[in-house]
Amino acid sequence: MKDDQRTSAVLGRAVRAAREERGWSQEELGRRSGLSRPTIARIERGDDISTATLSKAAKALGLAIRVERDG
């Protein structure tokens, strides 16, 4: 698995965990973020998505996206 695929998978799991922690369905997160349910599913699967799309989901969940240097 490539680094970018691994990162997408980790982010997807984090979004799903945060959504489930709140007791929200994918539809509910979609409504709160302005994204469609299929887009939420793509994020959670770890598909390649734009940072703008990820940011909308994260904001709706009250999550921050932080970039750190490797090493």
Cα–Cα dist 35/3, whole Å: 26
pTM of the model: 0.89
Q: Convert the pLDDT of each residue in 4-55 to its tens digit.
A: 888 899 999 999 999 999 999 999 999 999 999 999 999 999 999 999 999 9
| Between 65 and 25, residue with greater pLDDT | 25
Where are the domains positioned within the chain?
3-61
Tell me the C-alpha to C-alpha distance, in Å, between residue 15 and each of 5, 18, 26. 15, 5, 10
pLDDT score of 26: 99
1.10.287.70, 1.10.260.40, 3.10.105.10, 3.30.160.270: CATH of 3-61: 1.10.260.40
pLDDT score of 68: 81
